Structure 1
Amino acid sequence: MDALCVRNVSQLTLYDRISKLMETYEWSDCSFRVGSETIRAHKLILAISSPVFKVMLYGPLAERKEIVISDIEPHIFQLLLDFIYKDKVYIDSLENSCGLLYAAKKYMLPYLIKICLKYIENSLSIHNVLTILNFAEWIQEDSLVIRCIDLICKHTDVVFTLANEHISGSCLRKILQRESLNVSEKDLIDIAVQWAHDECLKQDLSLCDENKRMLLLKSDNLNLLRFFTLSIDDMDWLNSLGILTKEEFVVLKHNLSQNVIPKDQAKIQPTESNNQQLSVDLKIMDLDDNYKFILNLATIPRSLLRLDWLYCCRPIIRTATPLIITNTYQNIKVRIKSQKTIFVNSISVPTRQSPEDIFVNESPLYAENLNLVIYSNTDNKQHISAKYMYKTRYNSTTYIHLPKPFIFNEEDWYTVSFTWPEVFFHSYKYPLCYRPMISSDNIFMFDDNFENTMPCGSFVEGLKFCI
């Protein structure tokens, strides 16, 4: 006789049936006190999922009463149980992902750790990178630390300009140890001095030069600054910072003007990192034998990192009526929103349609004169402008390059305004096409008819950006 297979149609899978236990708490045999809440669970399910729970619930020192969890928030602990019972979890914020990563590491759930790390890495931006760096170092997640440092090195000046988080001395040291940073050494010294200022406030120390120097020395960061890559013109500024001793400043200034190094540093054995940074033809300068010179002798500036620029090219849906620029219609606006915080380097637009009366032997080039301004819809302020005054080809596409990469903050709308300043006797036509509102990579959203006096196709054809 064939075996009869009976299936519970109300809960089709094992996880469906187990998750039902979490919803009803039926047959629960343990409880946890998390904050002000009591959460019930099942020993067997927890123990087979986590070696930590196994020891906690079935080991020789197993808890017999309500287990108190003091270092995890109730909603985070509930997310942890959701994953254990359902093998899936819904994370809706960076804060929750960090709290859940801590819990996953505590209870040794490697797959949940990967899920949390992926969410955090996808959420990484110039606005939160310092906060995540502090957290990653505290939780000892080296791969996340490296991702944070890599992003900081690419956008060092912007990250610390927007900084609203104070990093640890060891985090600063990891940044200063890098050979490639997209920031000048002078600005990097300013960043280190500002860190020392904030550290004084954190440790409730007086804001004097001696304390700032002491903190930079104690954290092993002063000797990572490459003072010998500065110019002689920077000496007054450097002296005003007060982080160098009188002897150090005299030696540095003398070196920059006469290319010499202190006597005791002639005996230094170059390391792998500074092997090619010590000039072999520098003269020796005499100092008191009791004086210890601690400054970094690197004379070659740090190299700049090449950014990985990406292209957003909006595909064509169908052709549209050409845009006609006259002395009464000289402006068109497009709104753009990004799903991530990104840097925009240039914006792609169509060039003019060739005149109907152009002769075959005439040049296919014309002199374009176009102004671009970007406004933030959040504060309605002008943030950046660019002029495009070049000879370009008819019936083509051109990129308007911005003076510097512009930050599109996540989920904020920006208005890009195009203006033709001089249209007197002739009208200009620009061939347009209708294009999708949402880019194929789902990063950008475009509103092509924002505040325009008449409906038209898409004037912005694409962007050049980096994340």
Structure 2
Amino acid sequence: METYSNLEKLSNDLKNLFQNQNQNEKEEESYFDFEIICEQNKTSFKTHKSILSSRSQYFKSLFKSKMKEYQENKMILKDVSSSILSSILNYFYSGKIEINLENAVEILIFSSKYLIDELIEICLKFIKNNLQIETIVDVLKLSESMNLNQLLNSSYKFISKNFEEFIKTSFFLELEENHLNSILSNDYILINEFKIFQSIIKWGKHKSNINQEKENQKLEKEEKEKLQDQISNIIDKIRFIDFTNQELEDILKEDLIPNQISQKLIQFQILQNDKEKLNEFIQKENQNQNSFIFKSKFLSDSEIIQR
């Protein structure tokens, strides 16, 4: 016994059935048993319940429940454009769809709402493979709102690996605090730690509506307090231990970081000549899992003590 298959022809036949519905004879039109209407421009698509239910868990449940739409053999969709709906219905019939930067997010949102698992995976793969600095903040927000943890983590890694380029753009300034916190909490950012600190000050100024052109030393007391408050929840993700002594002195003079952090850095400087106490101090501080102040990316605690 031999088994033959021609999936390409099957795909084309079903695609033609859907795409040529308006040119079908009256008798052929009767084969369609469900209508989907796009409210945005009143475009109507004739479909088959069997196709819809086999391709979407949402429609399967809808038809099983025999709700109003099932009884009337039609439904109106308010949350999708006709072009996106056409692409998705065409995919239902042919198994083929064109995903691009313009439609990927819309298709993903629709697929998530209407439980089209295959398309969700296709869209997620496409978006992850085409992450861009210009759109990454929007992808972060989308990932969080839809609980797409894999895409969220991929976005964090992308930003971390492109951090030096990213912080030069206006898109960096639009990051939400929780996103920035998560990005700084990993080890993928390998640029100079002082540059990271400078970017945080820049971000904090933007969020606090402080003029970026104003030199740090010339900020008013009220402006410094606003800035310190803005960065208070993320400043402990900066690895001050990897700063040079001169860099530490400079930031302490500027008085831009919260007092609690400043006091720890001053104590660190004071203990430089007492290796034993310095070791105890660092060990104690590093017990806090959420603080990275004295956790070097490059040196062990013992190497820090001996340097």
For the criterion TM > 0.5, the same-fold answer is yes
Displacement after TM superposition at 1:187 (Å): 1.5
CA distance in 1 between partners of 2:286 and 2:202 (Å) = 32
CA distance in 2 between partners of 1:241 and 1:90 (Å) = 54
Between structures 1 and 2, the one with greater strand share = 1
Q: 2:58 aligns with which of 39, 52, 63?
A: 52
Q: 2:243 aligns with which of 227, 230, 235?
A: 230
Displacement after TM superposition at 1:255 (Å): 1.8
CA distance in 2 between partners of 1:139 and 1:108 (Å) = 13
CA distance 1:97–1:264, shift in 2 (3 Å): same
In the other structure, the counterpart of 2:229 is 214
Q: Tell me whether 1:153 sits opposite 2:170 in the alignment.
A: no
- Is residue 14–residue 93 contact of structure 2 (8 Å, CA) maintained in 1? no
SS at match of 1:88: coil
CA distance in 2 between partners of 1:61 and 1:241 (Å) = 65
Q: Deviations over 1:99-123 (max 9, x none)?
A: 1122222222222222222322332
Question: Which residue identity is paired with 1:56?
Answer: L
User: Where do 1:178-217 residues align within 5 Å?
Assistant: 178-200=186-208, 208-217=223-232
CA distance 1:208–1:52, shift in 2 (3 Å): farther
Q: 2:287 aligns with which of 256, 270, 285?
A: 270
Q: How many residues align?
A: 262
CA distance in 2 between partners of 1:106 and 1:269 (Å) = 44
CA distance in 2 between partners of 1:118 and 1:223 (Å) = 34
Question: Which residue identity is paired with 1:39?
Answer: S
Displacement after TM superposition at 1:153 (Å): 2.2
Q: Deviations over 1:365-395 (max 9, x none)?
A: xxxxxxxxxxxxxxxxxxxxxxxxxxxxxxx
Displacement after TM superposition at 1:264 (Å): 10
CA distance 1:229–1:197, shift in 2 (3 Å): same
CA distance 1:269–1:121, shift in 2 (3 Å): closer
Q: Percent identity?
A: 20
The structure showing larger relative contact order (alpha-carbon pairs under 8 Å, at least 6 residues apart) is 1
- Is residue 52–residue 108 contact of structure 1 (8 Å, CA) maintained in 2? yes
Q: 1:168 aligns with which of 172, 176, 190?
A: 176
Q: If you compute each CA radius of gyration, which structure gives the higher value, 1 or 2?
A: 1
CA distance in 2 between partners of 1:266 and 1:15 (Å) = 67
User: Where do 1:99-118 residues align within 5 Å?
Assistant: 99-118=106-125
- Is residue 205–residue 227 contact of structure 2 (8 Å, CA) maintained in 1? yes
Unaligned runs of 5+ in 2: 1-7, 23-28, 210-221, 300-307
TM (norm. structure 1) is 0.48
In the other structure, the counterpart of 1:13 is 10
CA distance 1:87–1:180, shift in 2 (3 Å): closer
Q: Deviations over 1:83-109 (max 9, x none)?
A: 112111012x31311211222222222
In the other structure, the counterpart of 2:271 is 258
CA distance in 2 between partners of 1:160 and 1:111 (Å) = 35
CA distance 1:16–1:126, shift in 2 (3 Å): same
In the other structure, the counterpart of 1:123 is 130
CA distance in 1 between partners of 2:225 and 2:102 (Å) = 37
User: Where do 1:394-409 residues align within 5 Å?
Assistant: none
Question: Which residue identity is paired with 2:236?
Answer: N
Q: Deviations over 1:375-422 (max 9, x none)?
A: xxxxxxxxxxxxxxxxxxxxxxxxxxxxxxxxxxxxxxxxxxxxxxxx
Two-structure CA RMSD over aligned residues (Å): 3.4
CA distance in 2 between partners of 1:151 and 1:255 (Å) = 33
Q: Deviations over 1:42-94 (max 9, x none)?
A: 23321221011222344254435664434333322222212112111012x31
CA distance 1:52–1:123, shift in 2 (3 Å): same
CA distance 1:257–1:229, shift in 2 (3 Å): farther
Displacement after TM superposition at 1:180 (Å): 3.5
Displacement after TM superposition at 1:126 (Å): 4.2
Unaligned runs of 5+ in 1: 1-10, 202-206, 275-295, 305-467
- Is residue 231–residue 256 contact of structure 1 (8 Å, CA) maintained in 2? no
SS at match of 2:44: strand
Question: Which residue identity is paired with 1:227?
Answer: F
Q: 1:83 aligns with which of 78, 82, 91?
A: 91
SS at match of 2:102: helix
Q: 1:73 aligns with which of 78, 81, 84?
A: 81
CA distance 1:119–1:232, shift in 2 (3 Å): same
CA distance in 1 between partners of 2:58 and 2:179 (Å) = 30
CA distance in 1 between partners of 2:34 and 2:282 (Å) = 69
In the other structure, the counterpart of 1:33 is 38
Q: Deviations over 1:276-320 (max 9, x none)?
A: xxxxxxxxxxxxxxxxxxxx364243249xxxxxxxxxxxxxxxx
In the other structure, the counterpart of 1:249 is 262
SS at match of 1:145: helix
CA distance 1:17–1:212, shift in 2 (3 Å): same
CA distance 1:190–1:32, shift in 2 (3 Å): farther
CA distance 1:242–1:34, shift in 2 (3 Å): farther
CA distance in 2 between partners of 1:56 and 1:174 (Å) = 39
CA distance in 2 between partners of 1:303 and 1:100 (Å) = 43
Displacement after TM superposition at 1:239 (Å): 4.8
Between structures 1 and 2, the one with greater helix share = 2
In the other structure, the counterpart of 1:316 is none
- Is residue 179–residue 303 contact of structure 1 (8 Å, CA) maintained in 2? no
